[in-house]
Amino acid sequence: MAEPRKQLHIAIFPWLAFGHIIPFLELGKLIARRKGHRISFVSTARNIERLPNIPPNVAPLITLVKLPLPHVHNLPENAEATMDVPNNVIPYLKIAYDGLQEPLSMFLESSSPDWIIHDFAPYWLPPIAARLGISRAFFSVFNASFMCFFGPPKLLLSASLQTTDEPDSSTRTELEHFLVPPRWIPFPSKIVYRPYEAKKLFENTEVNASGVSDLFRFMTVCLGTEVFAIKTCIEVEAEWLNLFGELLHIPVVPVGLLPPSPQEGNDNKDSTWDAIAEWLDKQEKGSVVYVALGSEIRPSQEDFHELALGLEQSRLPFFWALRKSAGGESIELPEGLEERTKGRGIVWTGWAPQFKILGHESVGGFVTHCGWSSVTEAFQFGRVLIMLPFIGDQGLVARFLEERQAGVEIPRKEEDGSFTRDSVTQTLRLAMKDEEGQIYRDKAKEMTTIFGNKELQHRYVDKFVELLENHRQIITKG
């Protein structure tokens, strides 16, 4: 007779960015809902207060654990997530995050979870968890092709600690090295950085005000974890997943694309949705361009103007979700834009329910920064992507999707990343209207068979949890 399955206690500890917090929470909800394991979701008080409502059917299994974020010089009061601060202040948020080491250790010691699912930032966590007998799983909200581009962690860690004048021939020390596929990718690929993106990337390899580089954090955590979970699936990037497993030498487990459930939005904001839906209902099916560049992207005033004027020139109906940037920097719309586009376009400055908007039948395309979670949401509904990446993984995600002809990137100058209103207009019309853009619209619709297949995606979570269960059984019996 089979032994009864032990209920696991799993702690979940994301980095302080909502682009990480929400997928980590989604994973926790699915583990609780499908397998009945107990979840402790750990973050700071203000971030936990801003989470969407936990569905009643899983709420008894999920404990929200609020840790006090230490006060740090240069970090504004109540700033507890990247969306609360401008980019130049994020290193101070990392200092505060590192200050969670003691309260997190105390929580782990008193609650004794079986596993902790963690992010890239807490480079100090693996030895603490190992000492307490807690198994570690790194969860990457980035896709496998992005992870492969950076290569084997041991190689990268040695590069980030390099002190000699003669670096290992396999390391990448020059900007030009990031403009071509790395030598460890054995198949043809066009997934590379542009020069203007590589310049920004180099900032992440340098030690910042927190005392260590992001690269060092990531590689140290990689080398201290036991399982690498990743927000993707075999149907989307099998060859990259296989390659990443070979590079890492520990189990690499896709957890699926974690599509959010539409009924789990912020219920108290339904009146907002009603007002948006009323406008969308009046538009033709598939005609509207939805524009949203995420809560952390802050284009220059010039880029912002060119995007706005390109939208106006396109003559397409648009809904622009334009959140005020953190730190209060003001970016002005071109004079008279809202009057000239009245009725055809809406610039919405409050909270907007992205998932519901993308799901509305009048929306046909999505101007996006190519954050992997935004891409995931759009493809559930087969929306064609008009891609405008800015930071981090976004450029590589855009190239990955271009290879698959599932989106069109707005052309930019290689050196500085600038673009014109005309290039915005032409790309919008290609993606939304022109005959030669039909291939992109068709491919985006094809994506719904994978991204929109909830049962397929949920099976990945089930397999991941089975691995967690089996691993703990081996340890317990051992």
Q: Which residues are designated catalytic? A: 20, 119
Long-range contacts of 408-412 (CB under 8 A, 24+ apart): 408/384, 408/437, 408/440, 410/386, 412/194, 412/196
Q: In angstroms, rounded to a whole number, what is the distance separating the alpha carbons of residues 477 and 114?
A: 14
Residue with tokens 């009603």: 274
Q: What's CA 208's distance to the chain center, in Å?
A: 22
Contact between 52 and 261 (Cβ < 8 Å): no
Two tokens, residue 288: 């509207």
Are 411 and 417 a contacting pair, CB within 8 Å?
Answer: no
CA Rg, the chain, in Å? 22
- Dihedral of alpha carbons 304, 310, 312, 318, sign: negative
Longest dimension (CA), the chain: 74
User: Token pair of 180, please?
Assistant: 């071509």
Tokens of 269: 């904001």
Decide: 213 and 205 in contact? Cβ < 8 Å. Answer: yes
Give the phi and the psi of residue 429 in degrees, each rounded to 5.
-70, -35
Could you tell me if 342 and 417 are in contact, meaning their C-beta atoms sit under 8 angstroms apart? no
Q: Could you tell me if 191 and 400 are in contact, meaning their C-beta atoms sit under 8 angstroms apart?
A: yes
User: Which three-class secondary structure state does DSSP give residue 9?
Assistant: strand
The structure tokens listed for 116 are 């902790």
How large is the angle between the packed helices 301-314 and 421-432, nearest 10 degrees?
40
- Give which of 142, 90, 206, 203 is closest to 396, Cα–Cα: 142
How many Å apart are CA 184 and CA 392, to the nearest integer? 21
Instruction: Report which residue type is found at 325.
Output: S
In angstroms, the CA 197 to CA 194 distance is 5
Question: Could you count the other beta carbons within 10 Å of the beta carbon of residue 423?
Answer: 17
| CA nearest to 14, candidates 43, 40, 39 | 43
Q: Which of 107, 77, 115 lies closest to 229 in space, CA to CA?
A: 115
Structural contact between residues 108 and 65, judged by C-beta atoms closer than 8 angstroms = no
Other CB atoms within a 10 A radius of the CB of residue 161 amount to 9
